[in-house]
Amino acid sequence: MSLWGVMGGGWGLVEEGWRKGPWTAEEDRLLIDYVRLHGEGRWNSVARLAGLKRNGKSCRLRWVNYLRPDLKRGQITPYEETIILELHAKWGNRWSTIARSLPGRTDNEIKNYWRTHFKKKTKSPSNNAEKTKNRILKRQQFQQQRRMELQQEQQLLQFNQIDVNKIMSLLDDNNNYNDFSSSSSGSSGEGGAFYVPHQIKIPTPNSGHDPNGNGFCPVVPAPTVEANVNEDFAIWNGIWNLDLEGQGSFGDGACVPRKHCFQNWPIPSNLTF
DNA sequence: AAAGGTGTCAACCGCTCGTGA
DNA sequence: GTCACGAGCGGTTGACACCTT
C-alpha cells in the first residue's frame, strides 16, 4: 500500500513538513543554487539551508538523477545498450556499478531502461531470454551498420550535388574516368579515392552482419567492455547524434526520441557551474 | 474521435553500508 | 562495541505520453 493511497491526496502534498512528488522549477533552482554554492553532500542540511521543503534523500535523488550538469540525458545509444547488456550479464542488477561505466548516465536511468527493454523478456525461459538478447545484439549491429551507410550515402549525395561538375572536369583532365568504373568492385582503399553510386552496397534488412565480406562494409564490432570506453564513447556518440538530428530510422522504434523525454530538462540558462 | 492498453521515466520506499563520536 | 547519521542502492509505484483498436 502506497503512502499516496493512504493519504488519498496525491503528489505534491506535504507530509510531516516535507513536500513530495514532482519537483517544481523553483525547487530545482533552489537546489541548483545551493549545490553551486556549497557543493554536494550533507543533503539533510540542504533542505534547511536552501529553504526547500524536501527531505535530504529527495534532494540527493533529484540532484543525482536529474539536475547534475554532467548528465547526458537523451536516449540510450546502441553502444550504451551493448555495454548495459554486457555488464548486466557480468554483474547482474548492480545498476550503480553499471552506471559508472556509462558517463552521464544514472543508475536509475539504466535500471529503467533495463526493465523496459529486457525485464519482460527474461521472464520467459532462460533459453528464450538468451535468444532475445542475441537477437537484440544482432539488431544493434545491423542498425549501427545501416547508420554508417546512411551517413556515407549522405556524404556521397552532398559530394555528388556540390562537386560533381568539378570532379567530372578533373576526371576529363586526367583522362582516367574509365579507370574508376573498372575498379568499382575492389576496395575503396588507396587506389579508389572517389565513390561512385554503384559502388555503394545496401544490405537487405535481414542480412545483418556479414563477416565473410560479400559486399558489405564490415560492421564495426560492438566494443567490448574492456575497450577504452571514453574514447569510443565520443565517436559512437557522435554517430548517434548525427542520426538524431535527422530523426533517423531505427528498426523497431524503441529508440525514437519522445517529446516528453525532454519536457523537464533542467533549464538553468541563468546558471553557471 | 474516443477509449483502453502500453511504455517510459521521475520519484518514492525500505534496506544496507560506512563513518565518526 | 554500539549508536546515530548520512549516503547509496535496488525495487516499486504513479503519472503521463504515446499507441492501438
Protein-to-nucleotide distance from the CA of A72 to the C1' of C15, whole angstroms = 24
CA closest to C18 C1', residue:
A258
Residue A124: its pLDDT value, please? 44
Highest mean pLDDT among A30-34, A120-124, A185-189: A30-34
| Residue A1 vs residue A163, higher pLDDT | A163
Determine if strand B comes within 7 Å of the CB of A116.
Answer: yes
CA closest to C17 C1', residue:
A260
CA closest to B11 C1', residue:
A21
- For chain A, how many helices (H) and strands (E)? 11, 2
Residue A15: its pLDDT value, please? 56
Closest CA to A40 of A70, A73, A72: A70
Residue A91: its pLDDT value, please? 84
Closest CA to A110 of A96, A123, A121: A96
Residue A16: its pLDDT value, please? 60
Residues A77 and A110: their CA atoms lie apart, in Å, by: 12
Closest nucleotide to A111, Cα to C1': C10
Mean pLDDT across A247-267: 36
**CATH number of the domain located at residue range(s) A15-67 in this protein:** 1.10.10.60
Instruction: Compute φ and ψ for A104, nearest 5 degrees.
Output: 85, 0
Determine if strand B comes within 7 Å of the CB of A29.
Answer: no
Q: Quick check: A87 pLDDT over 80?
A: yes
Q: How far is CA A147 from the centre of its chain?
A: 14
Closest CA to A87 of A104, A65, A107, A62: A107
Q: Quick check: A261 pLDDT over 70?
A: no
Determine if strand B comes within 7 Å of the CB of A254.
Answer: yes
CA closest to C16 C1', residue:
A260
Cα torsion A225, A227, A230, A233 to 10°: value is -80
| Residues carrying CATH 1.10.10.60, chain A | 15-67
Contact A127, A116 (CB under 8 A): no
Average pLDDT value for chain A: 56
Cell (9 digits) for A68: 547534475
In this prediction, residue A137 has a pLDDT band, given cuts at 50, 70 and 90, of low
Residue A186: its pLDDT value, please? 32
Strands (E), chain A: 14-15, 18-19
* A220 Cβ neighbours under 8 A, 6+ residues apart: A144, A145, A148
Contact A140, A82 (CB under 8 A): yes
Highest mean pLDDT among A132-136, A208-212, A248-252: A132-136
Which nucleotides of chain B does any protein CB come within 7 A of?
7-14
Mean pLDDT across A258-264: 38
Residues A72 and A262: their CA atoms lie apart, in Å, by: 12
Protein-to-nucleotide distance from the CA of A165 to the C1' of C11, whole angstroms = 63
